[in-house]
Structure 1
Amino acid sequence: MQRKTLSPPSIPIMRSLIKYFLLSILFSFITNLSATAQKNTHNLFSAGYASAFIGGLYDAWYPYKSLHLHGDFGLGAPAMLDGELIMLNGKLYKTQYTGKTSRLSDTEKTPYAIVCFFKANRVYKPNRQLSKAELYKYLDSVLINQNGIYAVHINGDFKYIKTRAFPPVVQKPYLPLAAMLDRQHFFEFNTIKGDLVGYKLPVFMEGAHISGYHFHFLSDDKAAGGHIIDLIANDITIEVDTLSSYTMELPQTPDFNNFDFRKDRKEEIKSVENGKKQ
């Protein structure tokens, strides 16, 4: 039997293969560049609707794994209102009503969270001791756009921190958060280092979000945290990322579809934010 000798690909075929290979590399590069550009667009992403969550929608529906696609910095709530949620440097932590703070698995879900890819464009050093009210007044003096969307990261030494967390709910129908203030557990810390993760959001975003200031705390050793109730800051550094857009994904659940949005929950939101009835 006569054997056939395979000849090497012709020059035109080789050129086509090289061209295809180079185009594939170029397409991959453009795709990655587009993803990177999208990641850094200073966008606030919300999984859920604030007033609906505060009104009692505590069942988890949005995967943490998906949340990472929209941010590395933010706050929210764990499943079944089991404590307080914080995201810092892309890592998620939960502070339970027992005070225990632990790292969260990306396999879990949240009923409500807001995140962004944090990239500071301004840095401030107050260089003096500040109470919570004084801190907010200082922030107001530098965040002067009343309709601006600001992500705020505060790191440093605190003379005093008071936080809170709610215990998990167990049975439907769930009560609104403002009706469960007597179930809060408070935690107090003296002379502690850590981070505040939060936002200052404008009034026109009220309802879909919580307008004004909203911060969660995480200690340097990652052993303490919670929603901020009160504080005295000693030596802190304030980093600000000015956001220019916001997007939202809503739960596709019967509870959300039947939720009554006609009720004005502004006072409820204030009570929940401050940890006491207004």
Structure 2
Amino acid sequence: MRINRLISIAVFAAAAITFTARASVTIRDLSSVKVISKDSIPKTLFTVGIGGGLIGGLYDGFYPYKSLKKHGNFGLGAPDKLDGELMIFQGKIYKTQHTGKTSLVDDRDSTSFSMVNFFHADKKFNPPAGMGKIALFHYLDSVLTNVNGMYAIHISGKFKAIKTRAFPPVKAHQHTPLAEMLALQRFFDYKDCEGDLIGYRLPYFMDNTNISGYHFHFLSTQKDAGGHIIDFKTDKIVIEIEQLDSYTIQPPATKDFKHFDFKKNREEDIKSVERGGKNY
């Protein structure tokens, strides 16, 4: 008699046994299986590269995307030799190029600077519609009460308008500071769109190694548009917050990094690059 269905019997004491129609038996030892609880998920921000170095011209990628995924499923960053912006979302890495094209990256390629974590929301908020970037940041300040806390922030939903940007590619070992390349950045305007803002609010003591304050990248629901956030107007959105408790930095081991001048104060350059220039 031919049996067409699969019968599974779970033995909870020590093993799971599955019987198949061909009478073969597969035994899986469950005694060593660990149940991962919410509290056991690491709340660590993993940073590749140095924020001040990227602002100052360290654009050459050195850390493979394949390795980056091992440290987080959520985050943002910069591709090798720029040509766009990175969005790490739900375990996949997307790149919006200076042409506006948005696509998955090749895991064999690398990043010059990225921040990632394994996102698991601690809190959720439903703010009123119609807020611009500054108004939303004020709202976030009112609920993120630890001024020296590290927060991963996921904002999803509908937006009345979003403005993003991406930088063009540079040549290998080209170190023109980003603040001097603002005239070359490309802007993209989206109306009545849906998607996700992926970002962080980091404290000032992390400036230079990371980028303090708010920093967001956008990825559309269709995964065909994105970039660094310049401005937006919300419609109906949901905000999810995770407070992180530690951070790890993986600096480059390149020759350019070893001779880079970190003594220079790049605070104004960082602000200018973050907002896309003085007019934003």
If the TM-score is normalised by the length of the shorter chain, which range does it land in?
0.7 to 0.9
Contact 1:50/1:207, CA 8 A, preserved across alignment: yes
1:40 maps to a residue whose letter is I
Cross-structure match for 1:109: 110
The answer to whether structure 1 residue 145 and structure 2 residue 151 are counterparts is no
Asked whether 1:78 is paired with 2:79, we answer yes
- Structure 1 window deviating more from structure 2 (169-178 vs 79-88): it is 169-178
Shift of 1:25: 7.5
Report deviation, 1:229. 0.2
Q: Residue 68 of structure 2 corresponds to which residue in structure 1?
A: 67
Helix, strand or coil: the match of 1:65?
helix
Matched with 2:26 is none
What letter matches 1:209 in structure 2? N
Displacement of 1:44: 0.2
* 2:48 alignment partner in structure 1: 47
Gaps in structure 2 of 5+ consecutive residues: 1-28
| Aligned-pair CA distance for 1:37 | 8.6
Q: Please report how far the alpha carbon of residue 38 of structure 1 lies from its aligned counterpart in structure 2 after TM superposition.
A: 9.9
Corresponding residue for 1:16? none
Conserved 8 A contact 1:165-1:227: yes
The SS at the match of 1:146 is coil
Which residue is 1:229 aligned to? Answer: 230
Unaligned segments of structure 1, at least 5 residues: 1-23
Q: Which 4+ stretches in 1 moved above 6 angstroms?
A: 36-39
Match of 2:265 in 1: 264
8 Å CA contact 2:59–2:173 kept in 1: the answer is no
Q: 2: CA distance between counterparts of 1:38 and 1:264?
A: 39
Whether 2:263 is the aligned partner of 1:254: answer: no
Contact kept in structure 2, 1:39 and 1:70, CA below 8 Å: no
1:220 corresponding residue in structure 2: 221
1:39 and 1:103 map into 2 onto residues whose CA distance is 29
1:106-158 Cα offsets, whole Å, 9 max, x none, are 11111110000000010000132111110100000000110000000000000
Partner of 2:208, secondary structure, is coil
Aligned partner letter, 1:112: F
Calculate the aligned-residue CA RMSD, in Å.
1.8
Match of 1:202 in 2: 203
Aligned length: 251
Distance 1:252 1:37, change over 3 A: farther
- TM-score by structure 2 length? 0.86
* SS in structure 2 of the partner of residue 81 of structure 1: coil
Whether the 8 Å contact between 2:75 and 2:198 is mirrored in structure 1 is: yes
**Alignment partners' CA distance in 1, 2:213 and 2:275:** 12
Retained in 1: the 8 A contact 2:83–2:97?
A: yes
| Deviation digits for residues 36-61 of structure 1 (CA, Å, limit 9, x no counterpart) | 89971210000111001111011110
SS across alignment from 1:77:
strand
Q: 1:145 and 1:134 mapped to 2: Cα distance?
A: 19
Task: Please give the secondary structure, in 1, of the residue aligned with 2:257.
Answer: helix
SS at match of 2:71: coil
Q: Distance in 2 between matches of 1:48 and 1:223?
A: 27
Please tell me whether the aligned partners of residues 72 and 117 of structure 2 are also in contact (alpha carbons under 8 angstroms): yes
| CA distance in 1: counterparts of 2:103 and 2:263, whole angstroms | 37
Structure 2 Cα separation of the partners of residues 42 and 51 of structure 1? 24
Higher helix proportion:
1
Aligned to 1:123: 124
**For the pair shown, which has the larger CA radius of gyration, 1 or 2?**
1
CA distance in 2, matches of 1:255, 1:62: 15
Structure showing the higher strand proportion among its residues: 2
Identity, in percent, stands at: 53
